[in-house]
Chain A
Amino acid sequence: MLARAATWWTILRISLEERLVYRGDFALGTLMRFMPMITQIFLWGAVFSGLYVASGSRPQIAGYSYHDFIAYYLLTMVSRAFSSMPGLASGIARDVRDGTVKKYLIQPIDMLGFLLLYRIAHKLVYYVVAAGPFALVFYLLRDFFPGWPDAWTVACFLASLVMSFLLGFYLEATIGMLGFWFLEVSSLLFVYMLFNFFFSGHMFPIDMLPGIWGDLVMMIPLQYLAYFPAAVFLGKVSGPELAWGLWVQLGWVVFFILASRLAFFYGLRRYSGFGG
Chain B
Amino acid sequence: MAIIEIEGLAKSYRVYQKKEGLRASIRGLFRRQYRTVEAVRGIDLTVEQGEFVAFLGPNGAGKTTTLKLLSGVITPTAGEARVLGHLPWKRENAYRRRFALVMGQKNQLWWDLPAAESFRLHQQIYRIEPSRFERSRDELTSLLGVRHLLSQPVRELSLGERMKMELIAALLHSPDVLFLDEPTIGLDVIAQYNIQSFLRHYQELRKITILLTSHYMKDVAALCRRVVIIAAGRIIYNGSLSGIINRYGGQKVVSLQFIDGRIPADLARFGEVILEEPPRAKIRVDRRVVPEVLSGILAGYSVEDVSVEDPPLEAVIAEIFSRNGEPPEHQVGQIPELLKEE
Binding site for B on A (CB under 8 A): 3, 6-7, 10-11, 14, 17-18, 21-22, 99-100, 102-103, 105-109, 268-269, 271-273, 275-276
Contact = CB atoms under 8 A, between A and B. Distances in A.
B157 interface: no
Nearest to A21: B112
Interface in B31-68: 64-65, 68
Interface of B: 13, 64-65, 68, 71-75, 91, 93, 96-97, 99-101, 103, 106-108, 110, 112-113, 117-118, 120-121, 123-127, 153, 181
B119 to A, nearest CB: 11
Contacts of B13: 272
Contact of B106 (A7, A21, A100): A100
B110 A14 contact: yes
Contacts of A100: 106-107
A3 B127 contact: yes
B121 A108 contact: no
B113 A17 contact: yes
A40 B173 CA distance: 54
A229 B65 CA distance: 48
Sort A-B residue pairs by CB-CB distance and give the 10 closest, nearest first: A108-B93, A10-B124, A7-B124, A108-B96, A273-B68, A273-B74, A21-B112, A102-B73, A273-B73, A106-B101
Contacts of A7: 124-125, 127
A107 B125 CA distance: 8
A3 B124 CA distance: 8
Contacts of A268: 75
B65 A276 contact: no
B72 A105 contact: yes
A106 B121 contact: no
B124 A6 contact: yes
Contact of A21 (B97, B103, B113): B113
Contacts, number: 74
A57 to B, nearest CB: 56
A108 B124 CA distance: 10
A84 B107 CA distance: 28
Contact of B121 (A11, A21, A99, A276): A11
A172 B164 CA distance: 35
Nearest to B68: A273
Contacts of B72: 105-106
Contacts of B74: 271-273
A268 B91 CA distance: 11
B110 A109 contact: no
Contacts of B153: 21
B43 to A, nearest CB: 17
A103 B101 CA distance: 9
6 contacts: A14-B121, A105-B72, A107-B96, A272-B74, A273-B65, A276-B64
B73 A14 contact: no
Contacts of A106: 71-73, 96, 99-101
Nearest to A105: B73
Given A108-B126, A273-B73, A17 B117 contact: yes
Given A105-B91, A106-B72, A276 B124 contact: no
A80 to B, nearest CB: 26
A22 B153 CA distance: 13
A251 B64 CA distance: 43
A108 B125 contact: yes
B97 A108 contact: yes
A22 B99 CA distance: 34
Nearest to B104: A276
A21 B154 CA distance: 13
A3 B153 CA distance: 27
A276 B106 contact: yes
Contacts of B123: 10
A6 B130 CA distance: 12
A269 B75 contact: yes
B209 to A, nearest CB: 16
Nearest to A22: B112
Nearest to B99: A106
B58 to A, nearest CB: 15
Contact of A14 (B64, B99, B100, B120): B120
A14 B96 contact: no
Given A14-B110, A102-B73, A275-B106, 12 more contacts: A7-B127, A10-B123, A100-B107, A102-B106, A106-B71, A106-B73, A106-B96, A106-B99, A107-B96, A269-B75, A271-B73, A276-B181
